[in-house]
Structure 1
Amino acid sequence: MITGILLIQAVTFAILSGIVASNKNRDPAGWGVIGLLFGLFGFIAAVAVGEGEETQSSSDQNSQPSGEGEFDPDEHEKKCPMCAEYIKLEARRCKHCGHEFSKKEVERQVEEIRESVEGSESANEGKKDERNYKSDEYDTEEILSTHDFNGVGMCEDCDYTREYVKANNYVCPGS
């Protein structure tokens, strides 16, 4: 009789621990075993543990784009013409000085950067001039100083965005 009650209690805590762990992006089977072995203490541990990182299965990773070739405005900046500080590309008001951009101006800037990013990626596929790409040991500020960025964060000489230059350590050939 007591063995049956203990078994039901262990299974109950195993199921509850697994459910709580699953809701926190943790391994439900592993936490279920902990709940089974440690009962109430395993369940309390499952409740107390923080959220785990969300992982994608390999089939999900293959079905989603890798990020290359896909334009994300949040990854791009523009330079405020009033205070020369960098702000998000889609910002309508500068957070530093309060300068306001019209909706049409913001849409135009986003479209320009989108075209330049998509154009530079397709135009340069497989045709990188390796002399202009420096290794990671080079100073980012030094590499950025070789470019002449205009108000929308794109080099006037090579037509690459500030983000592309930083990510790829690209030295402007026009410098």
Structure 2
Amino acid sequence: MITGLLFVQALTFSVLSGIVASNKNRDMFGWGIIGFIFGLFGFIAAIAVGEAEEVQSSSRQRNQPSGAREFDPDEHEKKCPMCAEYIKLEARRCKHCGHEFSKEEVERQVEEIRESVKGSESASEGEKDERNYKSDEYDTEEILSTHDFNGVGMCEDCDYTREYVKANNYVCPGS
């Protein structure tokens, strides 16, 4: 009777440790064995360990040349022409006012930003006009005010995205 009870307890902690480990991107089977052998202590250890980093994304970044990044539309925003709030680049409807964008318009905006990012990466690899890049002591809002951003978050004068301007403290030469 006691053996059966200990077996059920070990099985319970095994399953719980495996579930906790799986939620933290860890090996569910390995942590299940630890929970089975060590019981409550294995379960506590599974709770205490941190979340594992995704190996696939870090290895993909290591294989890319330095400075080169894959275009991610989630990192970019566009300004709604109706309510002037910023929304995700791929959004088809503004979450603030409900304004709808056509599928073609969204695809065009994504492509424009993709080309802009590609152009700004190639421009950053070449010669920069250092006069337009300000040190970190300058106010970000002041720098952003030198640009004329249109509905897709790209300056009409210098063709740089809002994110690029903020990251590099770039003052628009057209201002």
Q: Is TM-score (shorter-chain normalized) higher than 0.5?
A: yes
Identity of aligned residues (%): 78
Matching residue's letter, 1:168: N
- Structure-1 residue corresponding to 2:105: 105
Alpha-carbon distance change, 59 to 163 in structure 1, aligned in 2, over 3 angstroms: closer
SS at match of 1:87: strand
Would you say 1:63 and 2:74 are equivalent positions?
no
How far apart are the structure 2 equivalents of 1:77 and 1:161?
A: 9
Deviation at 1:108, TM superposition (A): 0.8
1:66-77 pair list within 5 angstroms: 68-77=68-77
How far apart are the structure 1 equivalents of 2:62 and 2:104?
A: 37
Deviation at 1:165, TM superposition (A): 0.5
- Structure-2 residue corresponding to 1:128: 128
Deviation at 1:129, TM superposition (A): 1.4
SS at match of 1:43: helix
Would you say 1:52 and 2:51 are equivalent positions?
yes
Matching residue's letter, 1:54: E
Unaligned stretches of 5+ in structure 2? 1-9
Deviation at 1:69, TM superposition (A): 4.2
Q: What TM-score results when the alignment is normalised by the length of structure 2? A: 0.72
Matching residue's letter, 2:90: E
CA root-mean-square deviation: 3.4
- List, as ranges, runs of 4+ consecutive aligned residues in structure 1 with deviation greater than 6 Å: none
Cα pair 2:71 2:114 within 8 Å, conserved: yes
SS at match of 2:94: coil
Deviation at 1:140, TM superposition (A): 1.0
The count of aligned residue pairs is 158
Unaligned stretches of 5+ in structure 1? 1-11
